[in-house]
């Protein structure tokens, strides 16, 4: 079984709809991240969480919200989806309790299309 899972894997929705993307991990890592990837722009950080009670905005958090329901679960919501949120979304985890290097491991991704 995969260590980091994302659901759904693909989603097509309409402008204005609320969407939730879910991420679960069995790696036991403390840190979780949400990224979006657009062609030519690389990975951009949306939100990150260092533990259940810690949520932080990344570089492109506008229009998104997150919830860390448990150490193993981190959800990303689009309250009112818009077409420029069409992208590939990745969840990632890392384990910093042992210090560096804090390597990030990625889920399989969710391809979201907003019409």
Partner 1 sequence: QKEVEQNSGPLSVPEGAIASLNCTYSDRVSQSFFWYRQYSGKSPELIMSIYSNGDKEDGRFTAQLNKASQYVSLLIRDSQPSDSATYLCAVRDGGFKTIFGAGTRLFVKA
Residue 30 phi, psi dihedral angles, 5° rounding: -90, -25
109 near partner 1 (CB under 8 A): yes
| Beta-sheet strands, E only, within the chain | 4-7, 10-13, 19-25, 31-38, 42-51, 54-57, 64-70, 73-78, 87-94, 105-106, 110-114
Binding mask 59-98 for partner 1 (x = CB under 8 A): -----------------------------x-x--------
Choosing from 53, 62, 70, 101, the residue that interacts with partner 1 (CB under 8 A) is 101
| Parallel/antiparallel/unpaired status of strands 87-94 and 110-114 | antiparallel
Identify which of residues 12 and 14 has a Cβ nearer to partner 1 in the complex: 12
Identify which of residues 59 and 62 has a Cβ nearer to partner 1 in the complex: 59
Compute how many residues bind partner 1; rule: CB under 8 A: 19
């Amino acid at each position: 079984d995969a260590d980091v899972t994302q659901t759904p894997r693909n989603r097509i929705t309409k402008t204005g709809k609320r969407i939730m993307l879910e991420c679960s991990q069995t790696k036991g890592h403390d840190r979780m991240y949400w990224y979006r990837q657009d062609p030519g722009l690389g990975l951009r950080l949306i939100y990150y969480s260092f533990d259940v009670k810690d949520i932080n905005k990344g570089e492109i958090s506008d229009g998104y919200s997150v919830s860390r329901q448990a150490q193993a679960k981190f959800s990303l919501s689009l309250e009112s989806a818009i077409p420029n949120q069409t992208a590939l979304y990745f969840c990632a985890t890392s384990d910093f309790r042992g210090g560096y290097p804090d390597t990030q491991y990625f889920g399989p991704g969710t391809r979201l299309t907003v019409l």
